Amino acid sequence: MHGRLKVRTSAEEATRKQKERNAKAAAFRAGMERILAKKERAELDEELLVLTGKILSANPDVATLWNQRRQCLQTFAKADEETGGQSLFDKDLSFTEMCLQVNPKSYCAWHHRCWVLENCPTPNWDKEVELCTKYLKMDERNFHCWDYRRYVVAKANVPPSKELEFCTEKIQNNFSNYSSWHYRSKLLPILHPNQEDASRPISEEKLKEELELVLTAAFTDPG
C-alpha cells in the first residue's frame, strides 16, 4: 500500500544478508589475489599498504598481511632519511587502533602495535598507557590489553605503586577480574618484599592485608 514502509520477510532478509556475505567474500578473494601477485613481484609500495589496510580493517587477524605490511613500512622508513618514517608509523598506530575497534582482542593488531612502537624513532609510551586504560574501561578482562599494558608500562617507566593503585581500582569495580588479580600478584613482591624470609613472596603484614581483600572479594562476589 502507498505510504507504508515495506517490511522485509525473514526469507528476504536472509537473502539480503547472504548477498552481502558473498560480496564481502568476493572482495576478500580479489584483494588477497592482488596482494599475492604483488608479493611474488616483490612490490612493497603504497598500493600494498592500501590493499592490506582494506582487508585488515575488516578482519585484523590475518597474520600474513601484517607481516607484509611490516616489510612495506620498513622499506618506506629506510627511504625517509629526514624523520625515519615517523609520520608513517604514526598513521599505522591510528590504523591499528581502528582495527582494535573491530576486534579489541586481536592478538595480531596488538602485536603489530608493539612492532610499530619498537621501530618508530619517537614512540610515545605514555600515550600507550592511556590507550590501555581506555580499552580496559571498555572490557576490564581483555587479557591481550593487560599483556600490552605491562609491556608499555615498563617502557614508560610507570612506578609499580601507581600500577598497583590501578589494579586495586579495577578489582574494586569487579572482584572477578582475574587479569587484575594476576597483575597484582606480580607487583606485590616488588613493592612489599619479605625482608626476613626470601622464600616468602611478600611481607607478612602485606600478606594479611591481601588475605582480607580476598575474603572481602569472596563474600562480596561469591560467583
pLDDT in tens, the chain (223 residues): 455 555 667 877 777 777 777 778 778 888 899 999 999 999 999 999 999 999 999 999 999 999 999 999 999 999 998 888 999 999 999 999 999 999 999 999 999 999 999 999 999 999 999 999 999 999 999 999 999 999 999 999 999 999 999 999 999 888 889 999 999 999 999 999 888 877 888 888 888 988 888 887 777 664 5
Secondary structure of the chain: what % helix, strand, coil (to 5)? 75, 0, 25
pTM of structure: 0.84
Query: Does any domain span residue 91?
Result: yes
Query: Does any domain span residue 222?
Result: no
Q: What single string gives the DSSP state of each residue in 57-126?
A: HH-TT-HHHHHHHHHHHHHHHHH-TTTTTHHHHHHHHHHHHHHHHH-TT-HHHHHHHHHHHHHSSS--HH
Query: Does any domain span residue 54?
Result: yes
> Which residue range is the domain that position 80 belongs to?
41-116
Total of domains in the chain: 1
